[in-house]
Amino acid sequence: MTEHYILIGTRIRTALGTDDKPEVVQLSQFTDGSFQQSFALIAEDGTVPVDTVRPRPHEEEQPFLDRIGSCQAIVLTTANHERYVY
């Protein structure tokens, strides 16, 4: 049996591509009883966040923004994912 332990915190990782040239960046966030994740599709013309989540603690926000660059559009896959669009 394999057990997986999820710690509280934020994880930012390259899901597709390399760290030097990411194509998809994944943000996973584990808080008290809550799990949220979002992705950012990165292209030459800019970035398209999907189901955006604001990193917590907020100290993690700037490294994430630095990594994804300028935003061209935002994609929400369901109405209740408008968490941090505004």
Domain parsing of the chain, residue ranges: 9-81
More confident position, 36 or 48: 48
Sign of the C-alpha dihedral computed for residues 43, 76, 27 and 58 taken in this order: positive
- Helix (H/G/I), strand (E/B), else coil: 32: coil
Q: Alpha-carbon distance 19 to 53, whole Å?
A: 20
What class is the 9-81 domain?
Answer: alpha beta
pTM as predicted? 0.72
Burial classification of residue 42, based on how many CB atoms lie within 10 Å of its CB (0-12 exposed, 13-18 middle, 19 or more buried): buried
Q: Could you read off the pLDDT of 11-24 as tens digits, one per residue?
A: 888 999 998 888 99
CB atoms within 10 A of CB 29: 19
